[in-house]
Amino acid sequence: MGLRRHVYHQLFARADRSDKLTLFNRFMIVVILAAVAVTIVATEPKIFRPHRELFIALEMTFGLIFGVEYVGRIWSVAEEAGDEPAWKARLRFMVTPLALIDLIVVVAALMPFFFSDVALLRIVRLIRLAALAKFGRFSAALRELVRALAERRYELLVTMALAACLLLFGASSLYWAERHVQPDAFGSIPRALWWAIITLTTVGYGDASPITPLGKFLASIVALSGIGLVAMPTGIMASAFSDAMQRQRGAEEDKQTDT
């Protein structure tokens, strides 16, 4: 009983309450980041092929760690049970989204590497990153961000609608101007939308760009007028997030002053 309580505290102690991560939590963050890094690197054939065995061993190790953690959580979550039977608390925990992600990750991690051509299976392991959302302050920050976005959803919606109209207007203009000259790049509005998005986000690969004087003239107008508009939703998001962060800091400082 003493052991289960100890394990429970190590695995579940929410950092947003105590503002501290347990030793085990710190270890798991390192393991998750390492597992994700290994998954990323393993997709590169030039690195994977000569070290096939190493990667399989690493994957197995990470899978084992995640498996042990998962089992440990299910076992120790019974501490939350109170008067009800332990299996009820366990079942309640198992159907939470983060626990389901944990399960998928464990299954994916332990899946043998022999089916390695099923590349998608490997990518599934990247959702391990979602496991990081469990950890206190980071999850508090995400909640703050979502709240800040919800608060300005109206501005976001209006600016996004305007940006969408501009993208559509730009794509239609260039479709009209260049559809016969460059049918591959501007032969339909969906194709021209690719140009519009890559231009108005200022990425500008150069795989689609107007070549006629009329097309260049229209593209210039669209580019000059549009860049601000397309950047507006992200600017609103950034300022909302920044405000939310400052409010949170202010609140934390007030708390500290009160104490």
Restricted to residues 191-210, the positions that interact with its own copies (CB under 8 A) are 191, 193-194, 197-199, 201-207, 209
Q: Contact 172/192 with Cβ under 8 angstroms?
A: yes
Which range in 9-17, 65-73, 102-110, 117-125 contacts its own copies by CB under 8 A? 117-125
Q: What is the dihedral of CA 242, 246, 248, 252, to 10 degrees?
A: 150
- CA dist 249 and 141 (Å) reads 11
Query: Among candidates 12, 29, 14, 32, which has minimal Cα distance to 127?
Result: 32
- CA dist 75 and 10 (Å) reads 13
Judged by CB under 8 A, the residue of 18, 20, 43, 88 near its own copies is 43
Contacts of 111 (CB under 8 A, 6+ apart): 121
Q: Does 254 bind its own copies (CB under 8 A)?
A: no
Q: Decide whether 89 or 127 has the Cβ nearer to its own copies.
A: 127
Q: Contact 244/145 with Cβ under 8 angstroms?
A: yes
- Residues within window 233-252 making contact with its own copies, judged by CB under 8 A: 233-239, 241-242, 245, 249
Q: Decide whether 42 or 78 has the Cβ nearer to its own copies.
A: 42
Q: Smallest gap, in angstroms, from Cβ of residue 26 to its own copies?
A: 15
# residues contacting its own copies (CB under 8 A): 71
CA distances from 42 to 36, 37, 111 (A): 10, 8, 15
Q: Decide whether 93 or 241 has the Cβ nearer to its own copies.
A: 241
Q: Decide whether 77 or 177 has the Cβ nearer to its own copies.
A: 177
Q: Does 50 bind its own copies (CB under 8 A)?
A: no
- Residues within window 125-184 making contact with its own copies, judged by CB under 8 A: 126, 129, 132, 137-138, 141-142, 145, 152, 154-155, 158-159, 161-162, 165, 168, 172, 175-176, 179
Query: Among candidates 199, 249, 244, which has minimal Cα distance to 223?
Result: 199
Q: Smallest gap, in angstroms, from Cβ of residue 67 to its own copies?
A: 24
In whole angstroms, what separates CA 71 from the centre of its chain?
Answer: 26
Q: Smallest gap, in angstroms, from Cβ of residue 61 to its own copies?
A: 20
Phi, psi of 6 (to 5 degrees): -65, -50
In angstroms, what is the C-alpha Rg of the chain? 25
Q: Does 229 bind its own copies (CB under 8 A)?
A: yes
- Binding string, residues 4-23; x marks residues near its own copies by CB under 8 A: --------------------
